Every structure is written in C-alpha cells, then in structure tokens.
Structure 1
Amino acid sequence: MLALAAQNAYERYEVTSVDRTEVLRYLGYSGQPMAEELDARVDGVVARCLEVARPAGVWRVFEVAGREPAEDGRPSVQLKGAKLELIGDSMREHMEGAAAVAVMAVTAGMTVEQELRRLSLTDTVEQCIFDAAGTTTVERAADACEASIVAAAHTAGLFTNFRFSPGYGDMPLDTQPVLLAALDAQRKLGITLSKSLLMTPTKSVTAVIGLFEEPQPTSHASCKDCLCAGFCRIRAAGRPCWA
C-alpha cells in the first residue's frame, strides 16, 4: 500500500477513436432523421477533434486516514497526506470500506479549447459537433486514466470501484480546488478554475476512485462492456482485475 500511495503519475493517452453514438447523444440525437450532409459532417468533425486533441492525465493514490464528520456534520472521508476531504452521503457510500482513494484529473488539452473558440466565431454548427466530440474524447481519456489506476491497484492486490466526480450526487463542486491542488494539475495539465469552479480547458474531468481489499460488485465485474477495456493492461497477463 505504501508503494502505491507514493505514486504520482503523469500520463499521455492515445485516443484514436470514440463511440459515435456517444457523440450523437451529447448532441441530443434520439433517432430522428439526419441529412446525409450532416451525417458526413459529424464524422469529419470527430476526426478533426481526435487530430487536435492532446489527452493527458495525472493521478495519485492516498490512504484513507479517517472518517470523522465534517465541521458541519456531513459525512466525510479524510485522506492521509492531503488536505482533500471527500464530503457527503455519496462519498460515504462510494468509499465504504475503502483502504485508499485514487484522485485523478484528465484533459483533452488546450488545443481543443482553442479550436472551440475559433469555431464559435466561424461556424456554430460545427462548434456544437466539435463540443460533443471533445466531451466524448475527454471521457475516453478518463477511461484510460481509470485503467491505469485499476492496473496499479491490481498489482498491489487491491480492487477498485468506478470513478465519481465532484458535482455528482451530493459531492460538492467546491471539492475541485483542493482536488486539483493535490495533483498539482495546474502545473502538470494546465487546468485552471473560474470563480464559479468551472475548469479550463473545459474538456477536463476530475474524479475519485476507491481502492478495496475485496472485489466490488458495482464495477469492473467482467471484461464485457468495461469502459476501460480498450486501455486495459491486465488482460494480457491472463488474470482479470476482478478475480
């Protein structure tokens, strides 16, 4: 556990494809007829997004130091060696029994942000498509980062649950500044926060993942349909992460 907690990884990710149905979902598509020209345009914009994106991430593992309530009485999970507290009922449930917590941040890169700004001045339709493609791209980068965490946990004989981001459930969005500081994400990834706690580059994701001594039924229970499968480092060894 100590060796795992000492890890502070910076990684670049090779995202060469995304799920087109996910891009369409972010665009609000629900099966309505689509003109051939627009259909082809989606493919072109997705390809352009993948070309300009520079996906990268940082992650770090912290041992759980305690579970004392926060000053306002809300449930809280404290981490050893970090000022970061995971507050709320969602975190109490998500980290129940966790021995450690992996903290992660990923971004599709400032190049995606710059292209979005350019398109906002030149082609709003293409901007909308590119925005959806950027969201899908950074989520794939998050899958790659999660796969790295799962592999590191597996090496240490631990199991993981799924990533959970600030703003989900009752996990406060104001977790963001301390989370990013714990990862030195501004220096390493160029991620900054606005006064309203929105990240720049906007196509960025932060999350936490629990590490456990026993398998977790909520995620990574099989290789089928696992979002991390395309980046998995474990299957080649002949033993899946959930066994």
Structure 2
Amino acid sequence: MPPLRRDYDVRSVERGEVLRYLGYSGQPITPELDARIDEVVASCLATCRPRGVTRVFDVAGRGERDGVPVIRLAGTALELSGHAIAEHLAGAVAVGVLAVTVGMGVEAELRRLSLTDPLAQAVFDAAGTAAVERAADAAEADVVAEAAGRGLFCGTRFSPGYGDLPLETQPVLLGALDAARQLGIALSPALLMSPTKSVTAVVGLFERPRAEAHASCAGCPCRDFCVLLRAGSTCRE
C-alpha cells in the first residue's frame, strides 16, 4: 500500500499517564497543583498538531546475518533485525510501519517554559509524551483497519530501540515512510528524532488473532480512533 498520511484528533490524554511520566507514586497533590496540572495539560493539547503516516509491507523473507534473525520487507530497503523482533513478528505475513509526531510547536513551548516555569515545563513535557503515544494509537488503528481489509489480524506495536531491534533501523524506517517530507521528522547524528515528541513503530499482521493483542474493544488503546468500531465491526471478527 502507498503511505497513508493523516492528521489525528487527539483531544485528551489519560491523566494517570501524565502523572506516570512525571514519576508520580502516590504523593499528596494539593488542590492548587491539581488545577495547575490540568491547566498545563490543556495548554499542551492545544499546542499539539498530531499527525502520522503508515504503510504496510508484505514479508518477503526471513534469514540471519551473523547469527541474528533478519526479516526482509517487500518493496523497501527496510529490514528488521534482532531476536526480540523476530519473536514479536513470528508468523507475520505483513508488517505495518508507522511514524507520528505532535509537531515543533511543542518543542518551542518546552524551550520557553524551561526559561520561565520549570514546573509547567515538566508537566508540559509529560503531557506531550502522553499525546504522542495517543497519536501512535491512532496510527496503529489505521494499520488495524488495513489489516482487516486484507482479512488479517494485528499484533501490538514494537519500536526501534526496544529489545535488540537496533536504533539504527530509524533512518531506513523513516525513509520508507517519506517521513521527512510527510511529517517533518529529522534525525540527529545520534539517531534521535526531531521533533522529540515523535514515535516510530512496526506492527505485525497475522492470519490468525494473536493471544497477546488487545482482547476486547473496551481496553484497547486504539478504540477512540478505530474505523472498524465506527462501522459497527471489530478487528476480532
């Protein structure tokens, strides 16, 4: 399939996720701080411009290089190497590839807050991380819809840098999605993405439902963005 580029309507993030990124572990929160957190999260969501691009490639073959498993994808130079990703994609007949970002506006506001309001900067940063993960949920929902159209079932997403999937995968992955032009994502020499609130991942497509995939719509992080659910169907059918 050609790359699918979309803007995503991320209107909210889980407050618990924001607190988790802040390192919260049950400490008391004053009413004033509680209200401040809500204020800064709302400001972050207003600043975010979530968008992403997805593409699905058939699995062309599997092999090894220097004893490390390698999955080759048809129609692209992108290869997925490592024992962890080989296990994650065992049995996959195709792979969805995605990249998302919430834009440079978040970067600019984080820089401003670092000079004026360190507390707000920390909350804004956590909210930005939660927001880009919601954008990744939305992009994953697009892959799920593509899989359903092929009569296939999705696993869960897996990003470069997880396990032993090398971070060096990033340049070819972003190139396969034309992410520099489509989303404005660039890489530093250390392979860090800019905007920093960006995510890349791969998702396996399988002929049978995966036990470890989202078992029901109720707990699925893609629920709010699911094309299938809006049409009265599910990815398990």
Normalising by structure 2, report the TM-score: 0.97
| 1:220–1:242 Cα contact (<8 Å) kept | no
| Letter paired with 1:27 | L
Match 2:142 to one of 139, 148, 161: 148
Matched, 1:86 2:80: yes
1:228 and 2:222 matched? yes
Deviations 1:54-100 (A, max 9, x none): 00000111110110112x22111001111111000111111111111
CA contact (8 A) 1:59 1:103 kept: yes
Runs of 4+ in 1 over 6 A off after TM superposition: none
CA RMSD of aligned residues (A): 1.0
The correspondence for 2:2, drawn from 7, 22, 36, is 7
Match of 1:63 in 2: 58
Q: Which of 140, 147, 152 is 1:158 aligned to?
A: 152
TM-superposition CA deviations, 1:128-186 (whole Å, max 9, x none) = 10000000000000001101110111121110000100111111111111111111101
Give 1 or 2: higher strand fraction: 2
| Aligned partner of 1:34 among 21, 29, 32 | 29
Q: Does 1:196 align with 2:207?
A: no
Unaligned runs of 5+ in 1: 1-5
Query: What is aligned with 1:3?
Result: none
3-state SS of 2:80 partner: strand
Letter in 1 for 2:53: V
Question: Which residue identity lines up with residue 160 of structure 2 in the other structure?
Answer: P
How many corresponding residue pairs?
237
CA distance in 1, matches of 2:169, 2:111: 27
C-alpha distance in 2, partners of 1:140/1:208?
A: 16
Q: What residue is the counterpart of 2:127 in the other structure?
A: 133
Residues 153 and 160, structure 1, Cα contact 8 Å, conserved in 2: yes
Percent identity between matched residues is 62
Q: 2:43 — aligned with what?
A: 48
Q: Does 1:24 align with 2:19?
A: yes
Q: Which runs of 5+ in 2 are unaligned?
A: none
User: In structure 1, what is the Cα distance between the partners aligned to 2:156 and 2:22?
Assistant: 25
- TM-score of the two chains, using structure 1 as the length reference: 0.95
Partner of 1:67, secondary structure, is strand
